[in-house]
Structure 1
Amino acid sequence: MTVADPNLYDYWPYRDRPKIVWPGGRKLAFWVAPNIEFYEFDPAKNPGRAGWPKPAPDVVAYSQRDWGNRVGHWRLMELLDKYGLRGSVSLNVALCDHHPEIIEACVERNWEFFSHGIYNTRYSYGMDEAQERAIIEDAIRTVEKASGQRIRGYLAPALTHTERTLDLIAENDFWYTCDLFQDDQPQPVKTASGKLISLPYSLEVNDVITYGALGMSPARYTDILKRHFDQLLEEGEQSGTVMCIPLHAYLVSQPHRIGPFEEALKHIMGHADDVWFATGAEIAGYYRDHCWDQTQADIAARGCATGGKGFGHGAA
């Protein structure tokens, strides 16, 4: 059977939605998501997708990503410190064992952690429910033991999913998913239980896309970040928007790229009166508490709601 629409959320036109006002009357909620990842040198084989683009072991690709944790992460952390920005870490949970010093440095800065699977070379394809459930529960326990935090966000490892992923994270009281890219504002996700939102995590300004896939110059990436921010800030005058910059230290922290990226941060920080600098969990928590009900009422009033399992209401 062909499924034409996974029905994970309702079609909800952007125009004339109920107004979102972020804390302090801010127009735009801004968050930075450093992906701190671990790629296995010779990962277990998944029939749906190879662990590396080249046949394993791929020494070159492995060492490039290893540079990100050895050098790039620390360079990026120092830059965010300079501007008083807290990261929301998209974490391959195995890093808690492989590089605990990185976890400790993030904890010292009160950064947030959210789950990005165990390894970025371990995919969700082909998992049964028990396996996927075990991985989610292990992520909660492992990060809490290493940092004291209860993770509330989820980005699937290498953006790989099963048909039950969103239901399982909602059941485990996650507040937000970064795996849907349908909007510039948060939106409730249809799950069997819980209270899960889709939090904007833009692929368009993700350095894996701009540098890794499109081969942009650092100056071009800086220009794109500024334009992206300016447009969302302008629209935030009508109703609060969200901008996320997803980053990978092995890309953005290269010596020739970090300076141009700082220029983009300077531009954004220059509008501090209009911007709420937050973490993913802070944005999701605020939306759940202050905007969830008005969103659902507006969707119903417009006649946009479609059939399906609907929205869970398990978490307050």
Structure 2
Amino acid sequence: MTNTPPFPYSPITERPSIEWPGGATVAVYVGLNVEHFLVDRPSTSIWPGTADLVPDPLNYGWRDYGARVGIWRTIESLDRHGIRPSVLLNSMVPAEYPQIIRAGLERDWAWLAHGRTNSALHADLPPDEERRVLADIVDTIADAVGRRPRGWMGPGLTETARTPHLLAELGLEYVLDWTNDDQPYEFAVPGMLSVPYSVELNDLLLFGKGTPGPEFVRIVRDQFDQLRNDAHPSGRVLALALHPFVIGQPFRARYLDEALAYLAAQPEAWLTTSDEIAAHYRRAISSTPHQPR
């Protein structure tokens, strides 16, 4: 264990300038959470009054809507605007919902490891067990999608103090768990990056607080507009976090479509994946002297 975070403090005003491809100022990616929930374990709930019951039809059914219905509505919107999501994939998903994997393979989605199931956080694991668990997660996803994931986000954005080190040993290159920046940055762990993710620009948190659909669209627009303003002279990242059991509800579909249409229409947006953001940043830092801008 350690009493310091796995990265140094770095104010955004004192870094080399980042230039995204094609003159873009904001790299935009959709973090699409594709998850499996256990029927006999509590997890994310819309109403906590029944969350500890087994079975819990109210909350389990709400979550299960995502894999049965919501994901397909969300895919239609992503396809309509030419957006390849970065899929945060529980390793239990391929066995449970192979149709979703096939849909993603047809569209060449980017695949990140997202634990086994979102019914269990990635915490309090002894070292040998964590090494084994992570290897199993990565291998299972690689077998299902034909390539090893390059990124990690823990279920509930959870890690142990060893997780970045163990992920690096397995060949992973970046994590999304530390949501503390608008740019990628280097971890203290050799070879490991942090790529921005958001618990604010996140359908689960926004709609969970009662945000109406038109306000969601305005928030996405405001996020992009401010990041574009900030991005002179150094590029920024907009991460839009989506959960099919939330954004895939029928009455929210038009608002996701409006938000994606706005992002896709911006000439200064690089619509990309977290994999490509990490790879571009890694190439940039390998060729740029580390002098304050």
Q: Same fold (TM over 0.5)?
A: yes
The offset of 1:18, in angstroms, is: 1.4
* Equivalent runs, 1:238-249 vs 2, <5 Å: 238-249=233-244
Matched with 1:156 is: 154
Matched with 2:73 is: 75
SS at match of 2:229: helix
Name structure 1 gaps, 5 residues minimum: 44-49, 303-316
250, 253, 256: which one pairs with 2:251? 256
TM-score (norm. length: structure 2): 0.93
The offset of 1:25, in angstroms, is: 1.8
* Equivalent runs, 1:169-184 vs 2, <5 Å: 169-184=167-182
1:231 and 2:229 correspond: no
SS at match of 2:156: helix
**Cα distance in 2 between the residues matched to 1:33 and 1:203:** 11
Name structure 2 gaps, 5 residues minimum: none
Q: Tell me which amino acid in the other structure corresponds to 2:193.
A: I
The offset of 1:293, in angstroms, is: 6.2
**Cα distance in 2 between the residues matched to 1:233 and 1:170:** 32
**Cα distance in 2 between the residues matched to 1:124 and 1:143:** 17
CA deviations over 1:66-89 (Å, ceiling 9, x no partner): 110000000000110001100110
CA distance 1:60–1:189, change in 2 (3 Å) = same
The offset of 1:243, in angstroms, is: 0.6
Aligned CA-pair RMSD = 1.9
Q: Tell me which amino acid in the other structure corresponds to 1:107.
A: L
**Cα distance in 2 between the residues matched to 1:105 and 1:283:** 23
**Cα distance in 2 between the residues matched to 1:203 and 1:157:** 13
Q: Tell me which amino acid in the other structure corresponds to 1:253.
A: G
Matched with 1:188 is: 186
**Cα distance in 1 between the residues matched to 2:2 and 2:233:** 39
57, 60, 63: which one pairs with 1:62? 60
**Cα distance in 1 between the residues matched to 2:157 and 2:53:** 20
Check the 8 A contact 2:29/2:271 in 1, yes or no: yes
Q: Tell me which amino acid in the other structure corresponds to 2:181.
A: D
**Cα distance in 2 between the residues matched to 1:239 and 1:2:** 32
The offset of 1:225, in angstroms, is: 0.7
The offset of 1:171, in angstroms, is: 1.9
1:287 and 2:287 correspond: no
**Cα distance in 1 between the residues matched to 2:161 and 2:142:** 27
The offset of 1:23, in angstroms, is: 1.3
3, 8, 11: which one pairs with 2:9? 11
Range with bigger deviation, 9-18 or 64-73? 9-18
The offset of 1:291, in angstroms, is: 2.1
Q: Tell me which amino acid in the other structure corresponds to 2:225.
A: D
CA distance 1:73–1:2, change in 2 (3 Å) = closer
* Equivalent runs, 1:65-144 vs 2, <5 Å: 65-144=63-142
Check the 8 A contact 2:77/2:256 in 1, yes or no: no
SS at match of 1:267: helix
Check the 8 A contact 1:188/1:292 in 2, yes or no: no
The offset of 1:237, in angstroms, is: 2.8
Matched with 1:274 is: 268
Check the 8 A contact 1:176/1:197 in 2, yes or no: yes
**Cα distance in 1 between the residues matched to 2:93 and 2:58:** 20
The offset of 1:247, in angstroms, is: 0.3
Check the 8 A contact 2:73/2:248 in 1, yes or no: yes
Q: Tell me which amino acid in the other structure corresponds to 1:250.
A: F
Q: Tell me which amino acid in the other structure corresponds to 1:209.
A: L
The offset of 1:294, in angstroms, is: 4.0
SS at match of 2:226: helix
**Cα distance in 2 between the residues matched to 1:281 and 1:24:** 17
Check the 8 A contact 2:2/2:161 in 1, yes or no: no
TM-score (norm. length: structure 1): 0.86
Corresponding pairs, count? 287
Matched with 1:219 is: 214
**Cα distance in 2 between the residues matched to 1:115 and 1:2:** 24
SS at match of 1:89: strand
